[in-house]
Amino acid sequence: MTTYFIDGQFTSKDSLTISIDDRGYYFGDGVYEVVKVYDGELYTAEEHIGRLFQSASKIKMAIPYSEQQLIDIAKELVKVNEVMTGHIYMQVTRGASARVHQFPEVSVTPVVTAYAIHNPRPLSNIEGGVSVKSVDDVRWLRCDIKSLNLLANVLAKQEAFEAGCAEAIFVRDGVVTEGSSSNAFGVKDGVVITHPATNLILNGITRQVVLKLCKENEIPVEERAFTPEEMYAMDEFFITSTTSEITPVVLIDEKAVGAGTPGVVTRRLQEAFARQIPLSVAGD
């Protein structure tokens, strides 16, 4: 039986209870993280938990644990659930309190919930690439916060799925921002181009890893806004996230990207990425 973490306790899914008054349930009033597990070890856990605290602080919520305590909880979940390749899901809501919009009394403690789940690397997408669909970015203006409020992302992903695509690519005011649950990158004439880390995107941990790998491999990068027209004319395109890693995009709005197959810069970055995750899963 899978062991979950809620409110200070490790427990089975069947015996855990969540209050109907939880503000995550009423308002999506909380923040979350997804941390990858490779070879039974957390990958870039400090960065993810650091971002969880930043997200919480941006919504004026105090997490009732230290960063190290949350990392220890995540490690324990990986261990007791014997997850080798998978991920941790962790969320913090502002707690349970009768439904009024303003914050509850300070005595109401935020609720931390987490679980570990087996989830293989999406190797067929990583190898063969995916199709994406551009969708209007109707999200709020604080996309830098990894908030539980994901309705616009859910609707965009559904629209993409219904069109037979793996991901929706958001476009706001004539600019490509990011995916519904990923960051978006183009490659033109050997230069990697991605939206800068402003309030309009989530500064993905995988995005940051990719920018570091570009630097190490002397691949030039431009962090700048680009238009959908530029996107269609890219030689290569790829999306990144904790679970999808570096996934090539071969079709955008039914138009082939470059030659319609994953590009050379994307492949170089995938290889560099695979080299810095535990060896036993690099070919998993």
- Active-site residue numbers? 146
CA distance 222 to 186: 10
Question: Applying CB under 6 A, does 85 fall inside the site for ligand DCS?
Answer: no
Q: How far is the CB of 96 from ligand DCS (least distance, A)?
A: 24
CA distance 40 to 70: 17
Select the residue interacting with ligand DCS from 70, 112, 130, 205 (CB under 6 A): 205
Return the number of the residue (195 or 258) whose C-beta is nearest ligand DCS.
195
- x/- track of binding to ligand DCS for residues 132-171 (CB under 6 A): ----------------------------------------
Segment contacting ligand DCS by CB under 6 A, of 62-70, 203-211, 230-238, 257-265: 203-211
Return the number of the residue (96 or 270) whose C-beta is nearest ligand DCS.
270
Return the number of the residue (34 or 231) whose C-beta is nearest ligand DCS.
34
- x/- track of binding to ligand DCS for residues 14-53 (CB under 6 A): --------------------x-------------------
Question: Applying CB under 6 A, does 204 fall inside the site for ligand DCS?
Answer: yes
Segment contacting ligand DCS by CB under 6 A, of 74-82, 118-126, 234-242, 252-260: 234-242
Residues near 279 by Cβ (< 8 Å), separated by ≥ 6?
A: none
Question: Applying CB under 6 A, does 207 fall inside the site for ligand DCS?
Answer: yes
Q: Where are the alpha helices (DSSP H) in the chain?
A: 23-27, 45-58, 67-80, 123-128, 151-162, 205-216, 228-232, 264-275, 279-282
Select the residue interacting with ligand DCS from 55, 91, 194, 206 (CB under 6 A): 206
Question: Applying CB under 6 A, does 11 fall inside the site for ligand DCS?
Answer: no
Select the residue interacting with ligand DCS from 91, 134, 147, 240 (CB under 6 A): 240
CA distance 169 to 158: 12
Q: Is 173 helix (H, G, I), strand (E, B) or coil?
A: coil
Amino acid at 84: M
In this structure, the dihedral spanned by the alpha carbons of residues 245, 47, 279 and 216, taken in order and rounded to 10 degrees, is 80
Residue of 128, 219, 233 whose CA lies nearest to 186: 233
Beta-carbon neighbour count of residue 14 at 10 Å?
8
Q: Which residue has the tokens 């067929």?
A: 124
CA distance 93 to 52: 12
Residue of 212, 210, 150, 209 whose CA lies nearest to 181: 150
Question: Applying CB under 6 A, does 243 fall inside the site for ligand DCS?
Answer: yes
Question: Applying CB under 6 A, does 242 fall inside the site for ligand DCS?
Answer: yes
CA distance 225 to 180: 17
Amino acid at 279: L
Q: How far is the CB of 160 from ligand DCS (least distance, A)?
A: 13
Positions touching ligand DCS (CB under 6 A) are 34, 178, 181-183, 202, 204-207, 240-243
